[in-house]
């Protein structure tokens, strides 16, 4: 069942490519162009959100939704909301006062392509749009489902989630953290949004609590694995492959800087195996792509 540990299975590759194409359309339709005087804001939001990312988070939403037989059009709206959040976080992260990164995915960072004030506002507007999309009846006819998605997302990305993790990340530049704090940092910074993405399908499909918990556990371990491999890539990667300056996280507290490359890699492998084991409760081939995705996270080169 497990694919080659060296590359994504052809089936996963095709499915991720299909996801990328469909998400491009969904995201574009939710971010209309305009000839109003404030058009630069809309252009900047499109620049940030239609930038050729891998769409890993949307893929998790779509595959999680597939497990529970959820309409994919609806799932794509939730996936777009999650991607808007991810993109806003990158835009604000890249700002001079934050990571001060001039490039992103091989292109000029938003504040370089436009300017700083537009980047701040575009990030704010993308975050707001995520909630607007989730609150729209088109996402689900049941207001209980919509408000549950909103509550879960808000909890995952605010002071007790992503933003809290980013704050820890900045503090970690000046202060040494133990492995426990690094672990918490990464769960907050990236893990909770990933957990939202995996759980969203269960909410949309009104899954039973046990199934929902299994996806949450899968996401939890996968999210930590994702962050470890991200740190490894940052250390090992080539600037051309990543499309962003490499090694810039070195000053920050990471698993890799704390436990070394070998132990970090072993930890990522363990986490991926553990994440896949949580999917055993689902029968048939419904979760094959989620399994493949876990191995892909381990072995990805970008």
- Asked if 89 and 48 touch (Cβ cutoff 8 Å), the reply is no
Q: Does 101 bind a copy of itself (CB under 8 A)?
A: no
Alpha carbon distance 68, 76 (integer Å): 14
Q: CB atoms < 10 A from the CB of 244, how many?
A: 20
| Nearer residue to a copy of itself within complex by CB, 121 or 235 | 121
Total binding residues for a copy of itself by CB under 8 A? 51
For the chain, the first-to-last Cα distance in angstroms comes to 24
**Contact between 92 and a copy of itself per CB under 8 A:** yes
Residues in the chain: 302
Answer for which of 21, 102, 116, 176 binds a copy of itself (CB under 8 A) is 116
Per-residue DSSP letter, 188: I
User: Does residue number 127 form part of the binding site for a copy of itself (CB under 8 A)?
Assistant: yes
Binder of a copy of itself out of 50, 121, 242, 270 (CB under 8 A): 121
- 178 to 217: interface string for a copy of itself, x by CB under 8 A: ---x------------------------------------
Tokens 């989730």: give the residue. 134
Contacts of 222 (CB under 8 A, 6+ apart): 194, 198, 271, 272, 275, 293, 294, 297
Q: Which stretch binds a copy of itself (CB under 8 A): 37-45, 198-206, 258-266, 290-298?
A: 37-45
In the set 2, 5, 108, 147, which binds a copy of itself (CB under 8 A)?
Answer: 147
* Contact call for residue 174 and a copy of itself (CB under 8 A): no
Give, in order, the Cα–Cα distances in Å from 142 to each of 145, 196, 204, 208, 276: 5, 19, 9, 17, 31
Binding region for a copy of itself (CB under 8 A): 36-38, 40-42, 45, 88, 92, 95, 97-98, 115-118, 120-121, 123-125, 127-129, 131-132, 135-136, 143-144, 146-148, 150-151, 154-155, 157-159, 163-168, 170-171, 175, 177, 181
């Amino acid at each position: 069942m497990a694919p080659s540990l060296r590359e994504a299975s052809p089936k996963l590759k095709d499915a991720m490519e299909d996801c990328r194409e469909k998400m491009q359309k969904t995201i574009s339709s939710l971010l209309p162009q305009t000839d109003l005087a404030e058009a630069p804001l809309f252009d900047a939001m499109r620049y940030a959100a239609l930038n050729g990312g891998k769409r890993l988070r949307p893929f998790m939403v779509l595959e999680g939704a597939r497990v529970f037989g959820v309409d994919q059009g609806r799932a794509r709206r939730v996936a777009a909301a999650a991607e808007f959040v991810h993109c806003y976080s990158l835009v604000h992260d890249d700002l001079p006062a934050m990571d001060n990164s001039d490039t992103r995915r091989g292109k000029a960072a938003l504040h370089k392509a436009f300017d700083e004030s537009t980047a701040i506002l575009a990030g704010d507007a993308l975050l707001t749009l995520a909630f607007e999309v989730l609150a729209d009846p088109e996402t689900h006819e049941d207001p209980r489902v919509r408000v549950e998605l909103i509550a879960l997302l808000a909890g995952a990305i605010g002071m007790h989630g992503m933003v809290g993790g980013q704050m820890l990340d900045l503090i970690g530049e000046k202060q040494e953290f133990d492995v426990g704090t690094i672990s918490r940092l990464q769960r907050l910074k990236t893990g909770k949004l990933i957990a939202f993405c995996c759980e969203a399908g269960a909410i949309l499909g009104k899954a039973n609590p046990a199934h929902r918990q299994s996806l949450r556990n899968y996401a939890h371990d996968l999210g930590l694995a994702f962050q470890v491999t991200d740190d490894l890539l940052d250390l090992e990667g080539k600037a051309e492959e990543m499309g962003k300056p490499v090694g810039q996280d070195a000053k920050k507290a990471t698993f890799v800087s704390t436990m070394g490359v070998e132990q970090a890699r072993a930890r990522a492998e363990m986490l991926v195996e553990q994440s896949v084991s949580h999917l055993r409760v689902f029968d048939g081939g419904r979760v094959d792509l989620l399994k493949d995705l876990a191995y892909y996270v381990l072995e990805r080169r970008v």
